[in-house]
Amino acid sequence: MTEVIDGNAVAAEIREDLSDAISTLKQAGTVPGLATVLMSDDPASETYVSMKQRDCEEVGINGIHVELDNDAPADELYETIADLNADDEVHGILVQSPLVEQVNEREAFRAVTPEKDVDCFHPENVGRMVAGPSHARFKPCTPHGILKLLEQYDVETEGAEAVVVGRSNIVGKPMANLLAQNDDTGNATVTVCHSRTENLEAHTKRADIVVAAVGVPEFIDGTMLKEGATVIDVGINRVDAETEKGYELVGDVEFASAREVADTITPVPGGVGPMTRAMLLWNTVKAASEQTGVDVALP
Ligand SMILES: NC(=O)C1=CN([C@@H]2O[C@H](COP(=O)(O)OP(=O)(O)OC[C@H]3O[C@@H](n4cnc5c(N)ncnc54)[C@H](OP(=O)(O)O)[C@@H]3O)[C@@H](O)[C@H]2O)C=CC1
Ligand SMILES: Nc1nc(=O)c2c([nH]1)NC[C@@H]1CN(c3ccc(C(=O)N[C@@H](CCC(=O)O)C(=O)O)cc3)C=[N+]21
């Protein structure tokens, strides 16, 4: 029987475990604080940011939300980030992507002080992650969440053939790097595929673990997978549908055909998405602990 990974359940467990660490911080006089910054009219972004704020409330993190005018000059965003960098009540800062076009996204991510960069987008933190486990400060939320899911469902990464489809800075690139690291959650043999890859199917068909982060609805189907594979679907695509909202969420994997072949598979929604949010809380608690020098046990 194919096992369908329950990302909501694993994320709920992590939130539950984090509440102990949050209590420890509170007893020492610190309420962990996470600032979310939105400068975009992308409708999905508003949904994500409000979900992140709701998560904060649930676990006892102080959620601070800053929303900027879409036609404000880029400097307004930089000033906001500078204020949050200097604010002792803020331990983590997330600048929601995508940003309006007048802002250079790379520059905006660089403006977040590395200590508060809970997305792990700052080049200093990316470099530290790539340098290896003993150097790393944060792991980026989506790949980190995927590693937790693999661990929870006893999917062996050591020696596994892993194929990551997509090489974005937010998902594909760090995912491939973490899976290849000499670490308990790594030691896989990793192939990175992208839009210039020839014969994608030849790669995915060999893989014990496929991570799909492409942004194309149902791009990977069962015929492209090896029998018994683990399939991690990162894609969140809104496709028109006759639902109340006028759309439904579809992954980058064609779930129906893939589950026939796969041993273990994540659904969309309810797979990777909730884990991304849980690991954001995780990174915020870690950031608060490091900034205050109060030791906490992280799940
Ligand atoms: N669940 C979650 O928590 C998250 C979900 N997402 C979702 O994951 C998906 C991917 O996001 P993200 O990584 O930011 O997307 P990007 O658009 O930044 O990257 C997509 C990657 O897919 C590659 N690609 C595109 N078309 C093809 C193709 N035909 N064949 C092979 N590779 C292809 C691109 O190649 P190239 O580099 O050559 O252009 C690129 O590397 C989206 O649906 C997004 O909404 C994103 C973040 C978190
Ligand atoms: N600075 C920054 N950091 C990010 O981590 C970041 C970002 N920008 N921009 C956009 C992407 C996307 N992303 C998601 C997070 C949670 C869900 C999620 O919770 N999804 C739910 C359902 C969501 C819904 O109902 O719409 C699920 O899959 O079950 C999805 C997508 C984080 N991202």
C-beta of residue 288 within 8 angstroms of C-beta of residue 91:
yes
How far is the centre of ligand 2, averaged over its atoms, from the C-alpha of 293 (Å)? 30
**Cβ of residue 175 lying under 6 Å from some atom of ligand 2:** no
* Cα 211 to Cα 146: distance, rounded to the nearest angstrom: 9
Q: Which of 13, 10, 19, 116 is nearest to 58 (CA)?
A: 19
Rounded Cα distance between 119 and 95, Å, is 8
Q: Which ligand gives the minimal distance to the CA of 51?
A: 2
Which atom of ligand 1 is nearest to 142's Cα?
A: 3
Q: Residues for the chain: how many in total?
A: 299
Annotated binding residue at 215? Answer: no
Candidate from 141, 168, 255, 276 with most ligand 2 atoms within 8 A of CB, to mutate? 276
Complete edge-to-edge strand list for the sheet that includes strand 230-233: 3-4, 264-265, 230-233, 209-212, 161-165, 189-193
Among all ligands shown, which has an atom nearest to the Cα of 204? 1
Phi, psi of 258 (to 5 degrees): -70, -35
Kindly list the structural domains of the chain, giving each domain's residue range(s) and its CATH number in brackets, ordered by start: 27-126 (3.40.50.10860), 141-274 (3.40.50.720)
User: Tens-of-pLDDT digits for all 299 residues of the chain?
Assistant: 899 999 999 999 999 999 999 999 999 999 999 999 999 989 899 999 999 999 999 999 999 999 999 999 999 999 999 999 999 999 999 999 999 999 999 999 999 999 999 999 999 999 999 999 999 999 999 999 999 999 999 999 999 999 999 999 999 999 999 999 999 999 999 999 999 999 999 999 999 999 999 999 999 999 999 999 999 999 999 999 999 999 999 999 999 999 999 999 999 999 999 999 999 999 999 999 999 999 999 99
User: Rounded CA gap, 182 and 164, in Å?
Assistant: 17
Active-site residue identified among 52, 139, 173, 286: 52
26 tagged catalytic: no
- Confirm whether the ipTM is greater than 0.95: yes
Contact yes or no for 284/34 (Cβ under 8 A): yes
